[in-house]
Amino acid sequence: MSSDQAMWEPKYATRAARMQASEIRELLKLLDEPDIISFAGGIPDPALFPVDLIRTAYSDALGKNVGAHKLLQYSISEGDPALRRWIAGYMAARGVPCEADNILITNGSQQGLEFLGRMLLNPNDTALVMAPTYLGALQAFAASEPVYDELSLDPTNRTAASYADAARAGGGDVKFAYVVPDFSNPTGETVSLAGRRHILSLAADLDIPVIEDNPYTTLRYEGEAQPFVQALDVAVCGGIDQSRVIHLGSFSKVFTPGLRVGWVCAAKPIIRRLTLVKQASDLNASALNQAVMCRLAEQEFDAQVARACKSYRVKRDAMLEALAEHMPKGSIWSTPEGGLFVWVTLPDGFDTAALLPKVVADARVAYVPGHAFFADGSGCNTMRLSFSLPTPDVIRDGIERLGAVLKSADI
């Protein structure tokens, strides 16, 4: 054995240089110590998982021999027809009349993001994303080596021509706009109706699709629901098969992320192409898990949404009250109408990434430094707080401890 052999590694594709670890997921691994109050995760509260219902659904699905054999076999890449019909009904009830053939089942909506990046982006093409935006989307798109430009909701800020010019200067074209319209990860904010119309207008001018990533939409605790961007487009373009909006949905935040079931709703030609991507990528999602999710959705969707909203609303209120009491003077934060996140901007001079070790050590509290959510790495004085996991009392305690360390920080 030579030392050359010991150092053997393959030559990676150039895109591999863009594949980086998620700070959040790496952070999660370090937070198993029981005395840490974690506002970092942003994962749903397991106390809300309908465990008994899920156990019964698996037992019943596997109870009939013929049906069980089918659910344990390879299955079609598009996904379970009954589940796709249920989702089509869900979308239709929200202003997007469509059929099962407009739906592709994915392993969580994360997989839909990766598929869309792969299908749409050549290296150096531009993806328009808000700043900050969902970190997992930046990671999903990264393998396709895009350039990012900031999707601004202020119509006076940037013209379609300026986006197109910037993209050409970067060696590609603008390929899509990406938005999490409801209770965004990481900010918790909701895009206004005017903002939604502006995105559609900009996309029309650029002749690009809009990727509407909407996993939190049903978790609304107050205020009026805004129409899906896809619904606004469908209302004027003539129907889902003429729409430029590609909608991603998920059962992970409402029921459980453990079955890995999400979906893409889009024009049939787009779904047909994505189905080929699914086929090449992992053949199909588990038919068994899809059947179980279909039963959960058919039986319990509205009731489960109501249960989740009731619980999360109290937690959100606890966090907002505690922030008002304990944050350093000059801090501001979002007031989310739903979802799992509050976005805090500390006064200039704070560096939330540099402070995190001290906060974990002294306050036994964890959060996600905000700069990870900016494609350009800015946002050093921001942080994402999730209220999903701790109880209201623990949230109050944690925010108080966090505030104390922040106020004592030598900035």
CB of 316 to a copy of itself, least distance (A): 20
Q: Provide the sign of the torsion angle of the four alpha carbons 126, 128, 132, 133, taken in this order.
A: negative
Token pair in block for residue 10 = 């393959």
The site for a copy of itself, by CB under 8 A, has a size of 94
Q: Rule CB under 8 A: choose which of 269, 361, 376, 393 binds a copy of itself.
A: 269
Distance CA 284, CA 65 (A): 21
Q: Work out whether 114 is an interface residue with a copy of itself (CB under 8 A).
A: yes
- Nearest partner of 388 among 332, 336, 325, 327, judged by Cα: 336
* Per-residue DSSP letter, 369: E
E strands within 52-203? 103-106, 126-129, 147-150, 174-179
CB of 408 to a copy of itself, least distance (A): 33
Q: Work out whether 364 is an interface residue with a copy of itself (CB under 8 A).
A: no
Residue 312, H or E segment: helix 287-326
CB of 11 to a copy of itself, least distance (A): 7
Torsion of CA 271, 167, 127, 155, to 10 degrees: -100
| The one-letter amino acid at 290 | Q
Q: Work out whether 153 is an interface residue with a copy of itself (CB under 8 A).
A: no
Contact region with a copy of itself (CB under 8 A), list: 15-23, 86-94, 179-187, 306-314: 15-23
Q: Rule CB under 8 A: choose which of 82, 92, 119, 153 binds a copy of itself.
A: 119
- Nearest partner of 133 among 113, 119, 115, 118, judged by Cα: 113
Phi and psi based region of residue 42 (left: phi greater than 0; alpha: psi -120 to 50; beta: remaining): left
Q: Work out whether 273 is an interface residue with a copy of itself (CB under 8 A).
A: yes
CB of 401 to a copy of itself, least distance (A): 25
- Nearest partner of 89 among 252, 334, 286, 294, judged by Cα: 294
Q: Work out whether 11 is an interface residue with a copy of itself (CB under 8 A).
A: yes
Distance CA 176, CA 11 (A): 31
Decide whether 102 or 381 has the Cβ nearer to a copy of itself.
102
Q: Work out whether 6 is an interface residue with a copy of itself (CB under 8 A).
A: yes
Q: Rule CB under 8 A: choose which of 23, 31, 36, 58 binds a copy of itself.
A: 58
Rg of the chain over Cα atoms, rounded to whole angstroms, equals 22
Q: Work out whether 304 is an interface residue with a copy of itself (CB under 8 A).
A: no
Decide whether 169 or 283 has the Cβ nearer to a copy of itself.
283
Q: Work out whether 143 is an interface residue with a copy of itself (CB under 8 A).
A: yes
Binding to a copy of itself, residues 37-56 (CB under 8 A): 43-44, 46-47, 49, 51, 54-55
Binding to a copy of itself, residues 205-264 (CB under 8 A): 207-209, 236-238, 242-244, 252, 256-260
**Contact between 138 and 88 (Cβ < 8 Å):** no
Q: Work out whether 189 is an interface residue with a copy of itself (CB under 8 A).
A: no
CB of 233 to a copy of itself, least distance (A): 10
